[in-house]
Structure 1
Amino acid sequence: MSTVPLPIDPNRPSAARIYDALLGGNHNFAADRAVAARAAEILPEIPQIARANRDFLRRAVRYAAGRGIRQFLDLGSGIPTENNVHEVARAAAPGARVVYVDRDPSAVLYSRHVLGDDEQTAVIESDLRDPAAVLATSPARDLLDLNRPIGILMVAVLHFLPDGPDLDAALDGYLEAAAPGSLLAISHAIPSSDPEPTDRLAELYSRTGTPLVVRDADRVARLFDGWTLVEPGLVPGPQWRPDDGPVTGAERFLTLAGVGER
């Protein structure tokens, strides 16, 4: 458990800290670990799913850096773990700039503590559903040049946001703000062939105050409206440009992932 003092209620589970617990991190509290343990009882693969999402994030960032992108906006960035976006990007492109955004105060405080005085990164406490507010902050204005391509990351976050005009307008807002050549990376939970486990997970998360919205493949694909999916398209997360060749059994990870180009 973290020793960083936080103005938060440790008895109220946080989606960001639950995710950290599933990843084996130590920036979480007993209440978060209890939800993570219960989630693993419902769906034993969920820790592997969490790690697979992080692996997809790293591959997507490397891909974007290989395409010449030198600035990233990580929306719903969560709590820092090893191989964060700025670390992965700078391994390929020294000097890459990253703005992390999360609405969870604990994720923001932990991130600022970990990043310290890194002048090429910033952490913003904001809701991704308000792109105008996110992009108007001084850290975003200082670090991001919206006249140049940007890598927008929405990894394992949109399934915590309900369908509706707010989400639609937010997605349109980022599309409109992105210069040609920009990339959007999304990973998203999908239902299993037997809906009971994901239904039970959704019920569990709803009790934490952060509902889980499991979308089918067609609904996930619509999140990319206005973007052109790059190869291999929208696929199970581990199958998106894997490091070690073809992956079998990826469907059991109950996640679709893709990268779209503006």
Structure 2
Amino acid sequence: MSIISRNNVSVRGDGRRAMVFAHGFGCDQNMWRHVAPAFEQDYKIILFDHVGCGNSDLKAYDYVKYSSLSGYAADVVEIGHALDITGGVFVGHSVSAMIGILASIEAPDLFSELALICPSPRYINGEGYEGGFTREQIEELLKFLDDNHMGWSAAMGPVIMGNPDRPELSEELVNSFCRTDPDIAKAFARVTFLSDNRSDLQRCQARALVVQCKQDVIAHEGIGEYVRDHLPKAELVVIDATGHCPNLSAPA
């Protein structure tokens, strides 16, 4: 199967330079519908679904390949090569921020600039590092997901989204989580929340814009500062937004 079909790749826009949008855990390319159109006049917009998500080919999911974020990064590189991308822009939300960094390290010619939306290189606290969660909290979260995928989705969607005064946003995220194959969701969650990409940051030579929300229980503002400080060429912008999904809650 072609990479285009496997990852449900769609291409639109009038520009020559590519801008690739990559969604976060439990989501799909539809999460960019309020953001991507603003760039269609100036860029060639490329949207896709990670294998196991959205309308990707579920039969292509490989538990060995996708047991680390490098498997997802390899797909981004393959998409880039299939579409002859050079010097493009990669926009990655949440876990896809780290996937984009790994892809840019593997194939430096693909992207000259990265926009990293609510990134976190490590969710678990360590010596001299505040990831936001203890290992016990992450293991608890993963056990809850293992035991009750639907219950986890209903409970975590509003927490991740924030914005309790706009319940329709949480509902969309919960529905997206619930549409994901439970076994794949459990595997992707484990990879996402147990990964440690801190040492990869300094290897990324692309210019990076780190976009952090003022209030985000998944990736607090200090993590944005950490990412900025450990990438060779980065700046940080903190936007006046709440929650972990500003592409839905604060697209403007």
Bin the TM-score by the shorter chain.
Answer: 0.3 to 0.5
TM-score normalised by L of structure 2: 0.42
TM-score normalised by L of structure 1: 0.41
